[in-house]
Amino acid sequence: MDSARKMMKARLSLLLVLVLMITSAVCAISRQNNKQELLDHLKRLNKPYVKTIKSSDGDIIDCVNLADQPAFDHPLLMNHTIQLSPSFDPDQNKENDKIEGAEPFTQLWQLNGTCPQGTIPIIRTKKRDLLRASSIEAFGKKRNSTVPRPRFVRKYIAGTVHEYATAYVRGGKYYGTKAILNVWEPHVDNEIEFSLSQIWLVGGSPAHDTIEAGWHVNPQNNGDYQTRFFIYWTSDGYEHTGCYNLRCQGFVQTNNKVAVGGTLRPLSTYDSDDIFGITLSFWKDPHTNNWWLKYGEENVGYWPASLFTILAADSASEVQWGGEVLLQKPDGRHSTTQMGSGHFAEEGLRKASYIKNMQLVDEYTNLRDPWNIATYESEPNCYNAKFFNALDQGKYVFFGGPGRNPNCP
């Protein structure tokens, strides 16, 4: 009997050793496969370059030939003919990025060099950038995102929630928009959270197609807490398609001066004359149906019509201007992540963040003032928005807030 027990025990021990060896081998193979997958993805993102520029903010800028950019890896763009410039520009009243006596905007990398004509500047993706994402598929994507919606039931997903303070128009036909976005560097609590100021153009209800641009502080996406210019798109309501900047196939860049995702300088200072902003314009080209983006006086590039369904066939049905915060409430307390300047809308000029000179492109390709503007505040005691109509500065929305405060515990 003792002999049988000893034999059984030996067999079980041997079986356990075999299981551990197999598990270890499987894990090693999995790690090797994951490593190779990561390296393959880096190769897809980081295209061959003709010149490299090192920026003082830590970015490495690769000057990539226009035809070699990531957009053309998209199956819908394999035989795409590049539109080098828009067929028209709806901007009749030229604006620059100088506001209230401030200096024009620069991206820090521009201080160390320029990309040649025929190339575009792309921020090099590093291994650590991919490792910050939950998966390669999630890299460069907004997590659990939506478009700001009144009466929308906001759900806590994976311990996070999106909060908004925006102005919006809805229900018309909008072929573009233009506005000046005041630029700040809000405090963000941790690497999971973000704070942004942006413009949304939305096709479909609920939102199906969106194109977006603005500035954000987004440590998980960017690996730092600096204010950066960004773009975004989706063609399925943020489910699977789209991404930030050039981190997936889609947006076609034609400009050799603007690095999408680059840091912005200078920044606004609270209650001072140092108030800075960037001018952004979007419009639909009537000859190609591509959606163009302009940064200041530079045509950056376009979202090809073939990426979309609703925005390809028709106009946007909604435009939003304002702020968004992604935050956590791990202990039931609100985050101290700020929106905008970190101050509420009613503080006004020099103190609150704003988007001003808000205009829409109509069906005749003319810029005109928006009509029937409403505001949306998901948590008005934490972040709020106020709409103003100024004779000399057009339509304004002031927005922002500190997050946690006595009225937002």
Q: Hey, which residues are catalytic here?
A: 212, 324
Rounded to the nearest 10°, the torsion over CA 197, 199, 202, 208 is: -40
Joined together, the tokens standing for residue 162 give 């999106």
Taking alpha carbons only, the member of 204, 323, 311 closest to residue 250 is: 311
For tokens 């006086």, the residue is: 297
3-state secondary structure of 115: coil
Rg, C-alpha atoms of the chain: 24
Residue partners of 174: CB distance under 8 A and separation at least 6: 201, 315, 316, 317, 318, 319, 360, 361, 362
Q: Could you give the C-alpha distances from 247 to 67, 68, 182, in angstroms and in order?
A: 16, 14, 25
- Check: CB of residue 277 under 8 Å from CB of residue 181: yes
174 in Cβ contact with 211 (< 8 Å): no
Q: How far is CA 27 from CA 22, 34, 38, in A?
A: 9, 10, 16
| 384-390 vs 316-328, strand pairing mode | unpaired
